């Protein structure tokens, strides 16, 4: 064989060897994908509460159940109260609420970390009493609501459910100032179970800044919001009815003076971790456990739901410990230690980016009222770049609102996208594709549903929680994720 022939043969052998090496690497480290079925933006679904309304009528004739150790109710998205709007208009409104919600939660966390000097105090002082409690309902924090009976006999009202708030409250007659709601204002004088809380009661002292009516010697509450909205009135105990099951002696605010950009619900059912939240107040009865399942409204006709009681914790859930913030007991903090894209850990995303510091700054919370997951900016940029690297075959589209990674998928019925896994301490949560690539208009534009934040607080939003039964075990101090457990 000639010298040129031997050289060509050697070169061929080298090429075959390199191809073999590349093939071995590709097989051992495949870029994992999953299929995303492309569904359009969801329309607002018509409300249907026939069961609850029937129970409301029956409850005046039949005794309610008081001994039940578990209760479940359906949840509806707040868009259902705006059924006359187009899907695209609803989505724009949702993003506006979401931006305000995330800002409100971040401000509250920052104020708590700054200590007493950093806390916001409302300018409104009613009856010589003010409060530093801040929440996000006025900015649209309540994305999901249900219908509960209040009082005896029960009057059914729309109530927003919120894991980022503690105090339970409703609007009450007589109204000195009330915002518009769908149902008639609740009148406590027509309820046999309504009781004012005395000023010296331990329940009254649980409020951050309790007030006292000097004339009636009864407890007053005020919850204020970052935009100046507030609810103020009597702190009382009342009976709540969930689909025929009565829960007595629930401490709630009966608001006679309420102002702000509140959606048409009558009030709020606080599901936070603080002492006055509904799960904390009813812990002995419901074993300090509750869970919710939020369905993808564009792909499922099943209703979302919330469950209180021992059965709320799914046996198939993957659990991660709750982390305690020394200065803020409302939020559900967890340890996020990494994120994988396409089957590989994203370089640059490490636990230090999400750590809760000694004064309560930073950290990661699970929140039902925020839609889009926010990650600290360095973590988001690393995640976004890894996802872009796995979607080079998809046609890019212009940025949309807070989303900077969007694709033109018009004309397609499904696409392959990289897998995304959130690694919590002790629990790996593999997200369905619909939980991170979502439709944003009616023209086939889909965007990566994460965003960066300059705040130290990262928030796991409800889009990423869709399809999971998210279980909160307050005794075990843990939160669990069970995929496909929404039945």
Residues known to be catalytic: 162, 367
Is residue 76 within 8 A of residue 47, CB to CB? The reply is yes
Residues 247, 308: Cα–Cα separation, whole Å: 11
Residues 404, 381: Cα–Cα separation, whole Å: 10
User: Is the N-terminal amide bond of 153 cis, ω within 30° of 0?
Assistant: yes
Strand runs labelled E in 260-405: 267-270, 289-293, 304-308, 318-323, 332-334, 336-341, 344-345, 364-366, 373-376, 396-397
Task: List, in order, residues 6 or more apart from 470 with CB less than 8 Å away.
Answer: 291, 292, 293, 294, 366, 479, 480, 481
Strand runs labelled E in 136-183: 144-150, 155-162, 169-171
Nearest of 287, 209, 203, 217 to residue 252 by alpha carbon: 203
Alpha carbon separation from 338 to 22, 248, 260, 264 (Å, rounded): 27, 43, 39, 39
Residues 321, 226: Cα–Cα separation, whole Å: 30
């Amino acid at each position: 064989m000639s010298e040129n022939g031997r050289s060509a043969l050697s070169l061929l052998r080298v090429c075959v060897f390199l191809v073999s090496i590349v093939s071995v690497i590709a097989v051992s480290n495949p870029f994992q994908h999953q299929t995303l079925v492309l569904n359009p933006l969801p329309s607002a679904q018509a409300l249907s509460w026939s069961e609850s309304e029937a129970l409301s009528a029956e409850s005046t004739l039949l005794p309610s159940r008081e001994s039940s150790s578990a209760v479940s109710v359906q949840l509806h998205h707040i868009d259902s109260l705006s059924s006359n709007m187009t899907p695209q208009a609803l989505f724009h409104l949702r993003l506006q609420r979401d931006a305000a919600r995330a800002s409100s939660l971040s401000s509250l966390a920052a104020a708590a970390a700054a200590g007493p000097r950093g806390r916001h105090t409302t300018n409104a002082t009613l009856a010589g009493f003010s409060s530093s409690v801040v929440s996000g309902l006025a900015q649209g924090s309540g994305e999901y609501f249900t219908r509960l009976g209040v009082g005896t006999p029960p009057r059914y009202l729309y109530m927003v459910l919120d894991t980022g708030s503690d105090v339970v409250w409703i609007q009450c007659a007589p109204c000195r100032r009330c915002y518009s709601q769908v149902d008639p204002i609740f009148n406590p004088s027509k309820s046999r179970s309504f009781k004012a809380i005395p000023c010296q009661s331990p329940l009254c002292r649980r409020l951050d800044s309790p007030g006292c009516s000097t004339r009636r010697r009864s407890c007053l509450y005020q919850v204020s919001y970052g935009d100046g909205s507030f609810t103020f009135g009597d702190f009382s105990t009342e009976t709540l009815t969930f689909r025929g099951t009565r829960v007595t002696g629930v401490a709630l605010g009966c608001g006679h003076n309420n102002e702000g950009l509140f959606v048409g619900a009558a009030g709020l059912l606080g599901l936070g971790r603080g002492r006055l939240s509904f799960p904390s107040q009813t812990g002995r009865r419901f074993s300090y456990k509750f869970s919710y399942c939020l369905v993808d409204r564009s792909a499922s006709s099943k209703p979302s739901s919330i469950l209180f009681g021992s059965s709320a914790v799914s046996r198939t859930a993957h659990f991660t410990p709750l982390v305690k913030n020394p200065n803020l007991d409302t939020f559900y903090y967890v340890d996020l230690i990494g994120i994988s894209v396409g089957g590989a850990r994203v370089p640059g995303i490490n636990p230090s980016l999400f750590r809760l510091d000694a004064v309560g700054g930073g950290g990661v919370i699970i929140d039902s009222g925020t839609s889009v997951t926010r990650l600290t900016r360095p973590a988001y940029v690393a995640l976004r770049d890894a996802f872009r690297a796995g979607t080079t075959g998809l046609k890019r589209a212009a940025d949309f609102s807070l989303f900077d990674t969007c694709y033109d998928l018009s004309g397609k019925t499904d696409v392959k996208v990289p897998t995304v896994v959130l690694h919590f301490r002790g629990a790996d949560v593999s997200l369905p594709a619909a939980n991170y690539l979502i439709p944003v208009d009616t023209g086939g534009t889909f965007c990566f549903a994460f965003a960066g934040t300059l705040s130290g607080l990262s928030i796991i939003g409800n889009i990423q929680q869709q399809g999971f039964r998210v279980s909160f075990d307050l005794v075990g101090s843990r939160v669990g994720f069970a995929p496909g457990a929404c039945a």
